[in-house]
Structure 1
């Protein structure tokens, strides 16, 4: 379903990795680690950060035996980094 009006907008291919990185980026915004791309402001919302980490954890649990080695490593690395940042900010 392509919208002709959005032809100038180029989005990355949707893959498992881009989905994981999107959720990780959201968690980083909510942890106040990076500015919100829409506002340019930095703020913290631990509940939303925790939710994004929980979603990634659920994905990790549900996909554990179905990922490529690269996807599995990405998931482990992303979750480790986010959990450490969450603990440091809490």
Structure 2
């Protein structure tokens, strides 16, 4: 009895290549739209604008003014309680003005950041 053993035919699925291309094109569309806008060399890769980003910015500036963090411009730590208080007051004002328009996450961030800054301010004032 002779068995007819044929090699299995190798089937190459090229559909996946077109699907990947299609997905890549769709993923690139928002980036392409942004690339079509005039480029501003000063912006670089910045995080999206958000309340959390604004709170973080004021927090960082206050921590620099309290001497907890190094000033990124000088690489040195220094204390300026007047400036630190200004940033804390600004965050308090921002919290008050946005009350009712923030989500749970943002409310929690305001509470935690202001608590940390107030404690650091009291500690720096006593020092």
- TM-score by length of structure 1 reads 0.91
Residue in 2 aligned with 1:31?
A: 66
Structure 1 outlier segments of 4+, above 3 Å: 1-4
Consecutive unaligned residues in structure 1, runs of 5 or more: none
Q: SS where residue 5 of structure 1 aligns?
A: coil
Residue in 1 aligned with 2:8?
A: none
Select the residue among 40, 62, 67 that pairs with 2:75: 40
Alignment of 1:56-75 (within 5 A): 56-75=91-110
Count of aligned pairs: 89
Cα separation, partners in 2 of 1:10 and 1:84, compared to 1, 3 Å:
same
Q: Say which one has the larger Rg.
A: 2
Residue in 2 aligned with 1:52?
A: 87
Consecutive unaligned residues in structure 2, runs of 5 or more: 1-36
Higher relative contact order (CA 8 A, sep 6+): 1
